[in-house]
């Protein structure tokens, strides 16, 4: 068989890191850019080649393990540095390298004026290496290496502009919150290793049903711990707070790490370990509930934010919630599908936002934007595509994946969760169009200085936008259920994520009448449209905007309410309470409760530390006394025992 | 608990012995002191007073060096006693020992550790 | 009684004793060379010390597969001895490289410094190779006395003096406990030989024998002092802070490893039967040691003190391995100690380069912005911090994984949970260093870096090993596992 040469995929970016370290100062900016982009581009080609190799195999044999060497041998078990190519890791590798490559190219333009150009690409390539290790690893331990590596790079890149105290602070927060999650992963991993006997996926998954009782305490505990790690990495309740702060990093970083790739690692972990999660229904239920709660919760907060990147950050949190929701209801394929489409349109949204910020000389406040559509035509067109995609409007990519998630939730009997997801979808459409309107439509509120420099971004930035926009349109079509022969994406993924529960869900889905499925689909489109309408109504009251939109709104409104009242009632009953709740959630919950708790933990440790320090008096007598007390306590323990 | 009895007894006897000897000596000692008796001996340290008095560090140096060589010299006695039985091997071994000591001694001389000034 | 045993000279296997012999010869040579005056900045002593350590390491490596008992079984040459001898020689050699420029810069008497360093190394080797409580004590004192002096080597530096005195007083105090423990064990078993002790226990189990258990407890306390286990750790921060940085680097690694070597050999060789009695005590010590070490480290502003507390915490992790026991437990302790040696020497090694002349620049604030002015140094220090914090893909991570998995296999779930929690807390203070390196602006005069080739070589070696053992840990792991076979 033709060897897919998997190791070369992560090796390319790390080689670029090494070269950058060794000779980076002699390369010049152009050389650094070529080196960094070239390595990731080649990695993408290698991933494509691997994917083609895999696709050429018969369906039942699509799993290739490539062992580099033996890492360590503990007892009778050995842990290999080995890479696994299966449909799931192929999708992940393609998304990571593909979107990663585009963002690298974009960064060449975006960071052009930054003095720390070389350092930026160094970190970015290092991140690619860690992320590819994470998704291609053949065992949990190697996966964890990538897991920690991406965390470290995320920390370095959030704090990239370390001169800003808020950036350094945000980097630290991200790292610390993630460590809390990592604690869960380490413990979960050790539990799986101790009782399951291996960390290698195939062996562990084969062993698990024999050693863990279905729904038993051990496996439930282990999987809840793993999920704790996933909530940290993927910014879910209650560990999501770091992600909005992480927007302190350069925008390409937000796009790459905090939207498209790293934050989806938690989803990948859950999908990868779905065999284990299915053994622990309680844990899986928790995943679904947390995911749904986060999806709704973050969406409400997203409404009240005025910083363009923060809106997108909360949106990311919310969309990740959808992916977990999908995992939780057993629709792992849908989760990965959404992961992929989300990578396209959210990366595009961030890059578009970056283009806006770039054009406005680093302005991020939506209240000082507006009316940019004509000035930034490319950015506007691509952003609109992405906004439609995330809102779930057919035929854009987001529609297919989101619909599949909601469908999966409904079909598997999780009706409450489905409803929460549906409300979240409406809110998503609402806040995304609020962003779009405030940014591109209406009168210009741009400050004169910024307006003076207003310019469309250079081609290195626009080209990735266009490519991503195309992907945001067609990316969902691989999940067209109407295509002959069924659903190609799901069929491709099936060997990786198919399971008893999945098959069951599948059966239920098929059992549902075609009419029912259509109804669900229509419903989700309807709520999305309602959200859009609401946003346009609430934020685009300016008479100068094209009458067509306004006319449509009038029609929608006139059906139920009187024109004048509608505003009042909407405002009083829907917008204002949600707005206030959102503000409250952000102000009180987010800032006081969650941050307060995190800080409180820190203070507690520092307090204990300060007390312990008091013993360190510097007097030998005290030291000897403590020594003696220690001896006495041990003796007492001994005599008593 | 019972098996610790010997240990406790051992402890009690040790404490009793130490306390006993000190106590006894302070009881039975005849106290007829005069100025001469209370004065310092030849080596010059006041026998009564604050034990934290300062005096030249050279005393310590000489004392430490004395103890060092004194103790090592003790090893020569058992060797001398069994000199015949140990034969040549014993002689070589002792020579090595003495050479090591000698190097230390020469180093001391070189560093002028034994000169008072 | 007129039949004397064959003179021991004939029974000695010279190769097995090679390391100690080489070191002794090196020490004497260093002292003799002082008769021929050299310039203050001469490299002579350092070169002699380095060659001596190389010879010592080579001589034991040369016969690494042999097994010997010499001096009537008081001294053994086995895998365990070889592992630790090589570890001590390597740590010593790295320390010499780090000291090379540092001692010149701080105007320390070179010949005596290196002679004492070699003495301490010899003491450590004797501790690890001893199969008898008396020789263990001999090695321990040889190591300790040399270290007491080395800690106080900067005679004109008040903190150095204070540190030495504290270390000495408390060390003598701890030695007392150790000796008392040896005496009680002798009383219980009638021997000080570990092998004989094990044999005695087969004939008449010591289970519940109070003299024996008490003796063992006192022994644990004595070794606990050397490895700075809480609550016998109080000397550590003061001694580490006051000592010349190169010595802090050496003792934080060597003395700890030697203490654990002796503890492991005693526990596993002589007291295997009563291991269950030690588990609660050693577990308690491990928990206390990790927790107090890590939490106190959080608020330290002096890097030497911070690393001192960190070294206390790491002793706690190794104690977990000791509690786990068995082949994997002991092997993971060895594995951990070797990796800890490399990364900790590296971390202190970076500190030896900071400051000019006798100036000490070891506050965390001194590091501000260093990562940009000296990128290589910044990357190296970051790597060591990451490794000490146990983050992959560094060696420190592999060390923790092995220790924790050995402990889990031994069923020590609560200990592992506390250990993992502790390693989470520890990140906070290791991270402070990298924050200072990359995210702070220097206040006042930025720290001067005294570059020196030998020190850089040592750092490169540490960096390479820290990375290598993180990426390919199997070689070291296999060596550690082979080495403990003799103990079981």
Per-residue pLDDT tens digits for B48-81: 667 677 777 788 888 888 888 888 888 888 888 8
Are C9 and B92 in contact (CB < 8 Å)? yes
Counting Cα atoms < 13 Å in the Cβ hemisphere of C152 gives: 16
The partner residue sitting opposite C217, judged by closest CB among A180, A618, A638, is A638
Q: What is the largest CA-CA distance in chain B?
A: 62
Report how many domains make up chain C: 1
Give the span between the Cα atoms of A123 and A294, in whole angstroms.
30
Are C210 and B85 in contact (CB < 8 Å)? no
Are C31 and B4 in contact (CB < 8 Å)? no
* pLDDT, tens digit (0-9, with 9 covering 90-100), for A571-609: 555 445 555 554 554 455 445 555 555 555 555 666 666
Which pair of tokens denotes residue C360?
């000490």
> Is residue A42 classed as helix, strand or coil in its secondary structure?
helix
Asked whether A73 and C478 are in contact (CB, 8 A), the reply is yes
ipTM exceeding 0.85, yes/no:
no
H runs (alpha helix) in A305-366:
308-328, 332-359
pLDDT at site C380: 92
Give the chain C residue nearest B106 (alpha carbons). C32
* pLDDT, tens digit (0-9, with 9 covering 90-100), for A18-32: 888 777 777 788 888
H-helix or E-strand spanning residue A69: strand A64-74
Is a pLDDT exceeding 70 seen at residue C409?
yes
H runs (alpha helix) in A360-396:
377-391
Asked whether C396 and C339 are in contact (CB, 8 A), the reply is yes
Domain hosting residue B61, numbered range: 2-110
In total, chain B counts a number of residues equal to 117
Is a pLDDT exceeding 70 seen at residue C374?
yes
Is a pLDDT exceeding 70 seen at residue C444?
yes
Report how many domains make up chain B: 1
Q: Is residue B76 included in any domain, yes or no?
A: yes
pLDDT (average), residues C469-481: 88
Tell me which residue has tokens 């540490």. C462
Is a pLDDT exceeding 90 seen at residue C310?
yes
- The sign one gets for the Cα dihedral C257, A70, C396, A276 is negative
**With a cut of 70, which residues of chain A have pLDDT below it?**
1-4, 74-77, 480-486, 498-515, 540-618, 641
pLDDT at site C385: 94
Identify the CATH number of the domain in which residue B34 sits: 1.20.58.1610
Are A634 and C281 in contact (CB < 8 Å)? yes
Tell me which residue has tokens 């580490």. C240
In total, chain A counts a number of residues equal to 641
Is a pLDDT exceeding 70 seen at residue C5?
no
Are C431 and A172 in contact (CB < 8 Å)? yes
Q: Which of A186, A222, A224 should we substitute to test contact with C (largest number of C Cβ atoms within 10 Å)?
A: A186
pLDDT grade, residue B44 (50/70/90)?
low
Are C210 and B6 in contact (CB < 8 Å)? yes
Q: Is residue B93 included in any domain, yes or no?
A: yes
pLDDT at site A97: 92
CA distance A8 to chain C (A): 16
How far apart, in Å, are the Cα atoms of A32 and each of A29, A98, A124? 5, 19, 12
Give the chain C residue nearest A624 (alpha carbons). C170
Give, to the nearest 10 degrees, the angle between helix C326-352 and helix C375-388: 150
pLDDT at site C205: 66
H-helix or E-strand spanning residue A374: none
Q: Which of A488, A524, A233, A498 is nearest to A407 (CA)?
A: A524
pLDDT at site A498: 67
Which pair of tokens denotes residue C355?
């400051």
Give the span between the Cα atoms of A357 and A339, in whole angstroms.
26
Q: Is residue B117 included in any domain, yes or no?
A: no
CA distance B2 to chain C (A): 10
| C424: chain A residues, CB-CB within 8 Å | 179-180, 182-183
pLDDT grade, residue C159 (50/70/90)?
confident
Is a pLDDT exceeding 90 seen at residue C146?
yes
A426 or C147, which is more confident?
A: C147
pLDDT at site C384: 95
Highest-confidence segment of B43-47, C245-249, C366-370: C245-249
> Which A residues in the span 165-194 are in contact with C, Cβ-Cβ below 8 Å?
168, 171-172, 175-176, 179-180, 182-183, 186-187, 190-191, 193-194
pLDDT (average), residues C294-315: 88
Whole-number mean pLDDT of chain C?
Answer: 87
Instruction: Give percent of chain A above pLDDT 90.
Output: 4
| B100: chain C residues, CB-CB within 8 Å | 24, 28
Is a pLDDT exceeding 70 seen at residue C10?
no
C481 or A75, which is more confident?
A: C481
Domain hosting residue C172, numbered range: 5-487
H-helix or E-strand spanning residue A470: helix A459-474
Asked whether C369 and C462 are in contact (CB, 8 A), the reply is no
CA distance C321 to chain A (A): 14
Q: Is residue B61 included in any domain, yes or no?
A: yes
Phi/psi of residue A337, each to 5°?
-60, -50
pLDDT at site A4: 63
pLDDT (average), residues C163-167: 90
B vs C: CB pairs below 8 A: 35
pLDDT at site C167: 92
């Amino acid at each position: 068989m033709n060897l897919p040469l998997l190791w070369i995929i992560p090796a390319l970016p790390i080689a670029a890191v090494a070269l950058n370290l060794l000779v980076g100062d002699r390369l010049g900016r152009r050389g650094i850019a070529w080196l960094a982009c070239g390595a990731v581009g080649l990695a993408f080609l290698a991933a494509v080649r691997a994917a083609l190799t895999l696709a050429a195999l018969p369906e039942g044999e699509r799993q290739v393990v490539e062992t580099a060497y033996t890492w360590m041998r503990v007892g009778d078990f050995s842990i290999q540095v080995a890479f696994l190519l299966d449909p799931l890791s192929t999708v992940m590798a393609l998304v990571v390298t593909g979107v990663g490559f585009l963002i690298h190219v974009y960064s060449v333009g975006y960071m052009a004026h930054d003095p720390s150009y070389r350092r930026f690409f160094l970190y970015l390539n290092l991140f690619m290496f860690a992320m590819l290790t994470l998704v291609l690893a053949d065992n949990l331990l190697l996966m964890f290496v990538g897991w920690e590596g991406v965390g470290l790079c995320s920390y370095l890149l959030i704090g990239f502009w370390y001169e800003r105290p808020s950036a350094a602070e945000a980097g630290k927060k991200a790292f610390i919150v993630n460590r809390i999650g990592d604690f869960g992963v380490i413990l979960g991993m050790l539990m799986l290793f101790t009782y399951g006997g291996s960390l290698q996926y195939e062996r562990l998954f084969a062993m698990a049903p024999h050693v863990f009782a279905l729904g038993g305490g051990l496996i439930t505990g282990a999987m809840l711990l793993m999920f704790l790690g996933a909530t940290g990495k993927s910014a879910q309740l209650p560990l999501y707070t770091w992600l909005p702060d992480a927007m302190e990093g350069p925008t390409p970083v937000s796009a790459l790490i905090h939207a498209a790739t790293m934050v989806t690692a938690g989803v990948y972990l859950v999908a990868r370990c779905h065999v284990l999660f299915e053994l622990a229904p309680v844990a899986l239920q928790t995943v679904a509930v947390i995911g749904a709660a986060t999806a709704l919760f973050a969406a409400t907060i997203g409404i009240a934010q005025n910083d363009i990147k923060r809106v997108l950050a909360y949106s990311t949190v919310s969309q990740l919630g959808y992916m977990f929701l999908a995992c939780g209801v057993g629709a792992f394929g849908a989760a990965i599908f959404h992961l992929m489409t989300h990578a396209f349109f959210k990366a595009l949204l961030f890059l578009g936002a970056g283009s806006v910020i770039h054009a406005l000389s680093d302005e991020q406040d939506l209240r000082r934007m507006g009316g940019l559509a004509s000035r930034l035509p490319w950015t506007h067109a691509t952003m609109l595509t992405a906004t439609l995609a995330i809102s779930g409007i057919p035929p854009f990519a987001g529609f297919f994946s989101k619909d599949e998630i909601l469908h999966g939730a409904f079909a598997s009997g999780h009706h409450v969760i489905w409803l929460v997801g549906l409300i979240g979808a409406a809110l998503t459409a609402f806040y995304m169009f609020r962003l779009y309107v405030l940014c591109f439509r209406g009168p210009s509120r741009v400050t004169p200085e910024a307006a003076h420099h207003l310019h469309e971004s250079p081609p290195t930035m626009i080209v990735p936008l266009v490519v991503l926009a195309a992907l945001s349109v067609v990316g969902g079509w691989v999940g067209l259920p109407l295509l002959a022969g069924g659903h190609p994406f799901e069929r491709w993924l099936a060997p990786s994520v198919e399971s008893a529960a999945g098959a069951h869900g599948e059966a239920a889905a098929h059992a549902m009448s075609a009419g029912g499925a259509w109804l669900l689909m229509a419903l989700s489109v309807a709520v999305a449209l309602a959200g859009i309408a609401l946003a346009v109504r609430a934020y685009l009251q300016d008479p100068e905007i094209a009458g067509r939109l306004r006319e449509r709104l009038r029609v929608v409104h006139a059906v139920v309410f009187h024109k004048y009242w509608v505003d009042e009632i909407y405002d009083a009953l829907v917008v204002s309470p949600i707005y206030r709740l959102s503000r409250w959630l952000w102000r009180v919950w987010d800032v006081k409760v969650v941050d307060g708790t995190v800080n409180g933990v820190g203070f507690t440790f520092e307090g204990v530390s300060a007390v312990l320090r008091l013993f360190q008096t510097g007097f030998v007598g005290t030291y000897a006394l403590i020594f003696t007390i220690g001896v006495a306590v041990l003796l007492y323990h001994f005599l008593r025992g | 608990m019972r098996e610790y009895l010997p240990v406790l007894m051992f402890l009690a006897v040790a404490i009793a012995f130490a306390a006993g000897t000190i106590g006894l000596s302070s009881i039975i000692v005849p106290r007829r002191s005069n100025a001469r008796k209370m004065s310092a001996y030849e080596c010059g340290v006041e026998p009564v007073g604050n034990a934290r008095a300062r005096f030249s560090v050279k005393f310590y140096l000489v004392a430490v060096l004395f103890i060092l060589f004194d103790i090592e010299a003790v090893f020569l006695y058992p060797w001398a006693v069994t000199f015949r039985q140990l034969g040549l091997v014993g002689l070589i071994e002792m020579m090595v020992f003495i050479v090591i000591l000698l190097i230390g001694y020469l180093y001391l001389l070189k560093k002028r550790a034994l000169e008072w000034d | 009684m007129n039949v004397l045993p064959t003179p021991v000279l004939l029974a000695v296997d010279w190769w097995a004793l090679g390391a100690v012999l080489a070191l002794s010869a090196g020490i004497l040579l260093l002292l003799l060379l002082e008769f021929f005056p050299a310039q203050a900045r001469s490299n002579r002593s350092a070169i002699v010390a380095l060659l001596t350590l190389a010879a010592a390491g080579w001589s034991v490596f040369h016969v690494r597969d042999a097994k010997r008992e010499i001096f009537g079984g008081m001294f053994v040459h086995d895998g365990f001895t070889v592992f630790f001898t090589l570890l001590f020689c390597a740590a010593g050699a790295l320390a010499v490289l780090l000291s090379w420029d540092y001692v010149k810069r701080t105007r320390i008497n070179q010949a005596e410094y290196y002679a004492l360093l070699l003495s301490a190394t010899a003491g450590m080797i004797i501790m690890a190779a001893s199969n008898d409580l008396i020789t263990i004590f001999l090695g321990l004192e040889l190591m300790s006395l040399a270290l007491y002096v080395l800690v106080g080597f900067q005679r004109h530096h008040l903190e150095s003096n204070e540190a030495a005195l504290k270390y000495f007083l408390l060390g003598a105090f701890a030695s007392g406990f150790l000796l008392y423990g040896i005496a009680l064990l002798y009383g219980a078993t009638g021997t000080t030989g570990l092998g004989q002790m094990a044999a005695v226990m087969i004939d008449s189990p010591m289970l519940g024998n109070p003299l024996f258990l008490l003796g063992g407890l006192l022994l644990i306390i004595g070794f606990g002092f050397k490895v700075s286990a809480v609550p016998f750790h109080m000397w550590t921060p003061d001694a580490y802070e006051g000592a010349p940085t190169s010595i802090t680097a050496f003792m934080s690694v060597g003395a700890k490893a030697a203490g654990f070597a002796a503890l492991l050999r005693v526990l596993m060789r002589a007291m295997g039967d009563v291991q269950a009695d030690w588990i609660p005590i050693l577990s308690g010590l491990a928990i206390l040691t990790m927790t107090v070490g890590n939490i106190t480290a959080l608020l330290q502003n002096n890097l030497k003190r911070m690393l001192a507390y960190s070294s206390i915490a790491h002793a706690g992790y190794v104690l977990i391995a000791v509690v786990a026991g068995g082949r994997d437990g002991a092997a993971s302790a060895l594995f951990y100690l070797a990796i800890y040696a490399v990364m900790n020497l590296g971390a202190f090694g970076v500190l030896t380069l900071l400051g000019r002349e006798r100036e000490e620049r070891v506050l965390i604030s001194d590091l501000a912005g260093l990562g940009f002015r000296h990128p290589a140094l910044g990357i190296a220090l970051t790597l060591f911090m990451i490794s000490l914090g146990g983050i992959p893909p560094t060696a420190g991570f592999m060390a923790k994984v092995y220790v924790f998995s050995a402990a889990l296999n031994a069923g020590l779930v609560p200990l592992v949970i506390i250990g993992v929690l502790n390693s989470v807390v520890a990140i906070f203070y290791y991270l402070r260093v990298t924050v200072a390196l990359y995210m702070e602006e220097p206040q006042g005069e930025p720290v001067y870096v005294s570059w020196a080739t030998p020190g850089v070589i040592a750092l490169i070696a540490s960096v390479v090993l820290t990375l290598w053992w993180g990426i390919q840990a199997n070689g070291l792991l296999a060596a550690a596992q082979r080495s403990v076979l003799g103990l079981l």
